[in-house]
Structure 1
Amino acid sequence: MVGVTGRSKTCKTCKKRRIACSLERPSCNTCVKSSRVCEGYQDAPIFILDKRSIPSTPKEQNPSPKPTSSSQAPDNPKIAKPASTKSEVTRLERTICTKEAYKSLWHISSPHTRAVYREQILSEFLTNYPQSPSEPRAGSWLALLPSHPTYTTALEASILAVCTAKLGRTHNDQSLVKESLKFYIQGLWELQRALWDEKLMYRDETVAACMCLIIYEVAECPDQSIKGWVGHLKGCARLFQLRGPKMYRSEMAHRLFLTFRQIEIQQAIAERRSTFLSQPEWQSHPWKGHQKHISQQLLDLMAQAAGMIETAYQTIGNPNLQARPDILLVTILGIVDQGWKLDIMLRAFYRRFEKTTAGPLFWPKLSSTPFDVEQESESEKVFPVAFQFPSMTAAHTCMVYWATSCILWSGLKVLYSLLAVFKAQMEGLSCPGETPPRSPDHNELPPLEHGLDPTILAKNICQSVEYCMRAGPMTPASAVFPLKVAIETLSIDPTFEKEVAWAEDAMERIRSGTGVRIIGHLGCKLTDRAFIPG
């Protein structure tokens, strides 16, 4: 328009007619009322940093420094920068520089320009890493973002951080990776502002921004520590809980809940604590208007297992109960009874899962690209047979089922051994000539039977990794939890040294191949116990 500095923001039709434009999108009301075709608006140009556009200058083979005379010496000595010492470089490592955080596309571009850039890079991201919204897998909510009607600034900055980082890693473009960190820092600021705003706090977009920050921590791990991921997950869990179980009716909110649910329950088991997701209302209300996939029933059982694990550790570590072995023995027996009931429910789930699948759940096939330990002959492959599945959903469900059974069986074995120790203590505490307190006989307890050797299930998990590697660029990340459980289970027996080495190599391939960089910054060895008791 005339008299307004800068680029005209009117639509092309109103600009030709030289009249005021009402600026509605996609078609302005001025054109609609006059029965004219609104030709749309002129988009602002998008500039993406590309290292290929930087002209390369040939370097001299052995450049000799030119001597500087006193007349050529700089007038201002402050311009000459001293070389960084090794101690200064070391001090700057493992830090996030926020000084240049605001000099990014976020601040040099208008909201409309950012929206155009967001649509472009999100489309490119989903093209390279397709997410199927029809499959109930973690992360499928990302496929709904292109059609999402509204974006808050927190969600916009967070999703730009995730997409820019992933594409930068894919194309080996460090400028995009650095830009993603600026988006990430901006996302933190915008999310903090949203959480203090009563109108934005409980919106789906705020929850989605939290999940994006969790994804960024998993993929980039900017602080080279797991603390950032744990902090985001705790805050996200609190936000989900405050929203209540009835706030997940929309498709976007429901998909976000499914993704968070899987992460929260697995982390609850690792932290040996219960989770609010085990409450009945959280296992029913979020599915009002949605079909509950059978794989979600497995997560219901895992949530119960988390509560049982918390009770077991609190009981065994209670000093007051340790001084009363008779009471402690009865308490442990109650936990063992819960464990066997959970095992029955797990096996019943597996039978239901088999009935819902046309054909077998999995079948063996000679491994085409096995992950072999170095210096291993062709006839002595660790896992020459790999499992095939009808779908990635079936593969992931089977692997999580085996991992959950590994945790349960290993826990029951530990409890059985403790019962034997406490029984011996009670018999030793009784005075000569006195009848020892009534203690349960081990013969009265159900035998472990199939739970005697959880390494069988751990090997099943390892033999399923190859299928995950071939299913898509993002799917191997879903194997991290069951593969970690398998490594912990196999490492208990020193005779499985090769199997453990194979599994650790597979985990490294997942880290380097899919960009799950947080695996390299766990702060502990992969064989350290996080899920398996001991």
Structure 2
Amino acid sequence: MVGVPGRAKSCGTCRIRKKGGCDMAKPACGQCVGRGLKCDGYQRQTTFINTTAGPVQKHPASVPEVPSSLAKSAYEEKYFGVFYEAYLPQSRQLPLHIMAYTGGGWTNALPQLSRTSPTVRKMLLAFGLTTAGYLWNKVDERKEGLKYYTSSLRGMAAAVAVPNSAADPIMLCLVARMYSLYEVIFGHDEQDEVSQARSWRKHIHGELALVTTQPPETYTSGYPHLFFVDGRYHLVRTSSPVLLNKLRADQWQTTGAIVARKKTVLSSPEWKSIPWRSIPKTPKDILLDIFVEMPALLQDIDEMRANPFSHPTLQHELVHRCWHYESELSAWRTQAGIADPTYHLDVELAPPPALDLIAASHILCVYWSMCIIIYSTLHSLSEDETLLPKRANPRIYCRRIAEALSVLLHPQSGVYGMHLANFPAAVALVYLNGVEGGGAMSEEREIIVRVFEGSVTGKATGRFIESTQRAEPRPSGLI
């Protein structure tokens, strides 16, 4: 959607950046002045969320454009290199066999796309300059990177506001994904602790809206296919997890949610089949076919709690679905050559972690996250929890995730590992916080906290999860 007429509650720059806390000072707000940004004032303008048509106010040039004379120059290559080194220190390209087990392959094409797309080039400069600013403690680079980011947001707003725009829809989706990644890495705001999660969530929702404006047939081959299959994990995780714990026999308590517990369009049969008409599914694709069903399961749990009279019938159905999903996870695990349902990944290896260990850590963290969701739900719905098998103890999988975080948040796993780690880390913390409350910290939580404190990406992951916790206006303990 686009901005609606009404009284502005923040300046144009703060609205575009999706940052709260604008003091509306004139002629320029304090937040823009403090960050060295051009304050666009308080007149209403179009903002990017969806593709509804509407007029877009033209802004005076307030940020540096990439001069054509500097295209492919040493200046750009310098900062592109800074970002690539921070994103994945071990390699600029993910090998094909690694992409079968983990996400991130969509970034392989960024160097090539930056040569033909000014928008992608501008965002890569935003990443590179901001990264350099933090690494080298240079405020000017950080401000310059933020200006490129803000300029790109304005360009996106203009592109999506024009009906029948000539803009490449896949390119728009790609840039939206780059926005959400930028917020995960650099979005922390000490003055507004919820703004990072709020901005990240809006960009994810914007990407999903753009992806689904195209039919599933769009994503059957080439880069569109790679982009789509890589994005399902990040697009779906905003709808989950919700973990349900039976704190007392007569009390249902929701203990975690990242965003809305709503069924996603990506779980529909056509979105789970058509993009693979000509390309076989990888182990990652098969696992994510189960993952996309989690939001609908959690939505029905909320429905059961909201409608007590439907409780007996719906409870039986939910239990049946949980066991069905467990059987699908078991089949996936068997196909992957893993016999033990509580498989323990050996992370006690000499650093730095190899790419295959990073990939294994991530795909198993997705598996373990679903085990926590499914088994915590079964515990909450069970009449007698002692009848559940030993493998149905969610704490087992919290421990597995906690140990794997030392791989994903290792300095040599870079921003790439951090981007993969925040969801499973959040799932484990949500469950542990729910069952432990304010009591003594468990060994699993101690491991996670220790990993968070042990690296720059660990600290950033902790701040991001804290922002998502604060952003969700729900009872205490929710993400």
In structure 2, which of residues 433, 447, 467 is the aligned counterpart of residue 521 of structure 1? 467
Aligned pairs (5 A) from 1:322-361 = 322=308, 324=309, 327-354=310-337
CA distance in 1, matches of 2:175, 2:427: 29
* Structure 2 residue 205 is the aligned partner of structure 1 residue 234: yes
SS in 2 for 1:273: coil
1 CA distance for matches of 2:315 and 2:427?
24
Tell me by how many angstroms 1:203 deviates. Answer: 2.6
**Does the aligned pair in 2 maintain the 1:207–1:239 contact within 8 Å?**
yes
- Per the TM alignment, residue 496 of structure 1 is displaced from its structure 2 partner at its CA by 4.7
In structure 2, what is the equivalent of residue 290 of structure 1? 279
Give the counterpart letter for 2:111 in structure 1: P
Letter of the 2:305 partner, please give it.
I
2:406 matched to which residue of 1? 466
Give the superposition deviation at 1:236: 1.0
State whether residues 233 and 264 of structure 1, in contact with CA within 8 Å, keep that contact through their aligned partners in structure 2: yes
Structure 1 residue matching 2:279: 3-state secondary structure: coil
1:490 has 2:432 as partner? yes
Relative to structure 1, the CA distance from residue 495 to residue 340 in structure 2 (aligned partners, 3 Å threshold; closer, same or farther) is: farther
**What do residues 343-382 of structure 1 show as CA deviations (whole Å, max 9, x unaligned)?**
11111111111269xxx9765465889xxxxxxxxxxxxx
Q: CA deviation at 1:179?
A: 0.5
Quote the residue 2:135 is aligned against: 170
Residue pairs, 1:146-161, within 5 angstroms: 146-148=111-113, 151-161=116-126
8 Å CA contact retained: 1:487, 1:504:
no
The aligned amino acid for 1:267 is T
Deviations 1:37-80 (A, max 9, x none): xxxxxxxxxxxxxxxxxxxxxxxxxxxxxxxxxxxxxxxxxxxx
Distance 1:364 1:390 in 2: 12
CA contact (8 A) 2:220 2:278 kept: yes
Q: In structure 1, what is the Cα distance between the partners aligned to 2:358 and 2:448?
A: 20
Question: TM (normalized to structure 2)?
Answer: 0.71
Q: In the alignment, what sits opposite 2:390?
A: 450
d(CA) in 2 for partners of 1:141 and 1:300? 19
Q: Deviations over 1:135-156 (max 9, x none)?
A: 3233332221222386444333
Establish whether residue 110 from structure 1 lines up as the match of residue 93 from structure 2.
no
**CA deviation string 1:287-332 (max 9, x = no partner):** 34434220221111011122111111112113xxx2x3xx421121
Shift of 1:189: 0.8
SS across alignment from 2:293: helix
1:490 Cα deviation from its structure 2 partner: 2.5
| Distance change >3 Å, CA 511–CA 105, structure 1 → 2 | same
| Contact 1:402 1:458 survives alignment (8 Å) | yes
1:217 is displaced (CA, Å) by: 0.9
Who is 2:269 aligned against? 280
Judge conservation of contact 2:127–2:145 (CA < 8 Å) in 1: yes
Shift of 1:125: 2.7
Shift of 1:174: 2.0
Equivalent of residue 502 in structure 1, options 447, 462, 466: 447
Distance 1:530 1:293, change over 3 A: farther
Question: Aligned in 2, Cα 1:514/1:244: closer, same or farther, shift over 3 Å?
Answer: farther
Match of 1:310 among 291, 299, 305: 299
What is the distance in 2 between the residues matched to 1:142 and 1:354? 29
**Larger of the two Rg values belongs to structure:** 1
CA separation in 2, counterparts of 1:365 and 1:515?
Answer: 22
Percent of paired sites with the same residue: 20
| 2:103 aligned residue | 138
What is the correspondence of 1:8-87 to structure 2 with a 5 Å cutoff?
none
CA distance in 2, matches of 1:119, 1:365: 35
Equivalent AA in structure 2 for residue 113 of structure 1: L
Give me the whole-angstrom Cα distance separating, in 1, the residues matched to 2:381 and 2:355: 34
Q: State whether residues 82 and 131 of structure 2, in contact with CA within 8 Å, keep that contact through their aligned partners in structure 1.
A: no
| Residue matched to 1:397 | 363
Is the CA contact 1:465–1:479 (under 8 Å) kept in the aligned structure 2? yes
Deviation at 1:257, TM superposition (A): 1.6
Distance 2:364 2:296 in 1: 22
Identify which range, 291-300 or 513-522, moves more after superposition: 513-522
* CA–CA distance in structure 2, aligned partners of residues 248 and 293 of structure 1: 15
* Aligned residue runs from structure 1 range 175-186, under 5 A: 175-186=140-151
Amino acid at match of 2:161: W
Amino acid at match of 2:38: K
Contact preservation (8 Å) 2:262, 2:295: yes
**Residues 211-226 of structure 1: pairs in structure 2 closer than 5 A:** 211-221=177-187, 224=192, 225=195, 226=197
CA distance in 2, matches of 1:508, 1:274: 35
Asked if the contact 2:123/2:178 (under 8 Å) is kept, the reply is yes
The alpha-carbon distance between structure 1 residues 513 and 408, as it changes in their structure 2 partners (threshold 3 A), is closer
What displacement does 1:524 show? 3.0
The corresponding residue for 1:66 is: none
What TM-score comes out, normalization by structure 1 length?
A: 0.64
1:262 matches 2:233: yes
Quick one: structure 1 residues 367 and 496, their matched pair in 2 at CA, closer, same or farther if it must change by over 3 Å? farther
Q: Distance in 2 between matches of 1:204 and 1:151?
A: 14
Q: Secondary structure at the match of 2:390?
A: helix
Q: Give SS of 1:460's match.
A: helix
The 1-side partners of 2:155 and 2:327 are apart by 47
Structure 1 window deviating more from structure 2 (234-243 vs 142-151): it is 142-151
Deviation at 1:515, TM superposition (A): 4.8
Q: Kindly tell me: are residues 496 and 448 of structure 1, through their superposed partners in 2, closer, same or farther at Cα, counting changes over 3 Å?
A: farther
RMSD value, Cα: 3.5
Q: Distance in 2 between matches of 1:528 and 1:408?
A: 22
Match of residue 248 from structure 2 = none
In the TM superposition, residue 483 of structure 1 has moved relative to its aligned partner by: 1.6
- Measured in 1, the distance between the counterparts of 2:399 and 2:416 equals 20
CA separation of 1:529 and 1:289: change in aligned 2, threshold 3 A:
farther
Aligned to 2:79: 121
Partner deviation per Cα, 1:215-268 (whole Å, 9 max, x = no partner) = 111111165411111111111111111112122245432332233211111111
Return the offset for 1:392: 1.8
Following TM superposition, by how much is the alpha carbon of 1:341 offset from its aligned partner in structure 2, in angstroms? 0.8
Shift in CA distance, 176/288, structure 1 to aligned 2, threshold 3 Å: farther
Report the 3-state secondary structure (helix = DSSP H, G, I; strand = E; otherwise coil) of the residue aligned with 2:228: helix
Are the structure 2 counterparts of residues 362 and 222 from structure 1 closer, same or farther at C-alpha, using a change threshold of 3 Å?
A: closer
Name the structure 2 match of 1:479.
Answer: 421
C-alpha contact 1:133 1:143 (8 A) present in aligned 2: yes
Counterpart CA distance in 2 for 1:131 and 1:255 is 17
1:84-99 equivalences in 2 (<5 Å): 92=30, 98-99=37-38
Unaligned runs of 5+ in 2: 1-24, 41-60, 241-257
CA apart distance, 1:163: 2.5
CA–CA separation in structure 2 for the residues paired with 1:362 and 1:475:
23
